[in-house]
Structure 1
């Protein structure tokens, strides 16, 4: 039998698999030229655009293209189109912001973006908080939950070293490890659990009440209901600051606990102390990274309308 290969119409590759030979057909000429063109295009692309890695950065490319720059241009374009409303938000009276539906709606949407970019790492995507990071969706506000108070806290932070106006500047929950004996710590924990409606030994709680009055009431109040540091004291010359109100000590009589209300958690708080810090987000404290006045007002509006704002 005469086969196609016997006629030598097309050479084979010289390989044979179980008697099966492979023709050595050349690639279509058009395909070869397209392949060569892609190589040339690829080489040109690495020269024209950022491509080759270096020790500190990649080659910039002679076209000067940058995806980061492209995004910044788009952001600038959006900001330019919203310039008027951003300017209005920057100087808005937060106390009456909700009366302007259009501006308030813009602020909430803008604030949502600001919150997701800067705040969710600590307070959570739903603002429900975590251990050591307060929830922003309930009615328990150590530093005040009015919209202007929230803006103040965002701008100046809490117990940081950047802003002299930081909430609780220089104030912390001290460690009582060297002040109380082990027995006194146990008694104080029992009293705190008792006033918060939890199970506690009555005799120990009675002993702890005396220790609490002598050592803790100056910050947490005689009844343990906490204190509040807010801007009202600065806004109203006639505002009378009650004892302990400037410390920002939390309410110990409810079921809301920043670090936990179990016997173990309260014991740890007494022994170790607490000194949570929130950075100051005002752009004057974080040049290049902080929030503008409009962004601070926007995120304050967003947090305030989550349900817990006072």
Structure 2
């Protein structure tokens, strides 16, 4: 065994001992699989570093440059067309394979992560919540819906649901005349209803004004003849043809569900989707509360 190998082994031993000392001083629990894996990795790195260093330092002392030179050179300095050292190539390939494993399956080790634990706890709590409130009465749902509204909706729609003076949807009224005229003019394709997009320009002029006034007024009184263009999708009563298109008359459960799932662009910006943050019971509760505001 030559002096270089002895020095390399001594260097590796020093690194390993130093690592063990640090682990002991920091009271790191090696029974934890993550800590143990890290320790094994540190020892492997120290050993490989010493071995590879010894090998290539030895080669630098004995090897001579040989092989076919490439045509390109820089100020007379050229490169040989030698193959990559097999050890380097296999190490690089192994690192790539390990990286892919680590990214896809290795982290978190033993399938644990704080985010994953949190998501599992939330999922379990939501299941318990749904079971407890599955048959909640109307009064309980309204109270629950008010709490959800104050936390999730009030920042844009106001604590009373008034839409912050027209900056967002006012829940005391289904839609204003101006909003209806805007939809008639520009169409609508945000909520993902089965009937699909409402094209722009379904009516204009006096007909559009009559339709907007009729819907904004709660669909009371004589229905304008021009409403026939709307009835083909929304139904003669404006209630959405059994969920096939938006309900023009009230905030029904289908309408609320579509808005919560898809979000909606408004004057304050884009309302985000709440489909992953609100449970079915909470959605039902919010619908009850919104309906109470419109009444």
The TM-score, its normalising length taken from structure 1, stands at: 0.32
Who wins on radius of gyration, i.e. which is larger? Answer: 2
Which structure has greater helix proportion? 2
The TM-score with structure 2 as length reference comes to: 0.33
Greater RCO (Cα-Cα under 8 Å, separation 6 or more): 1
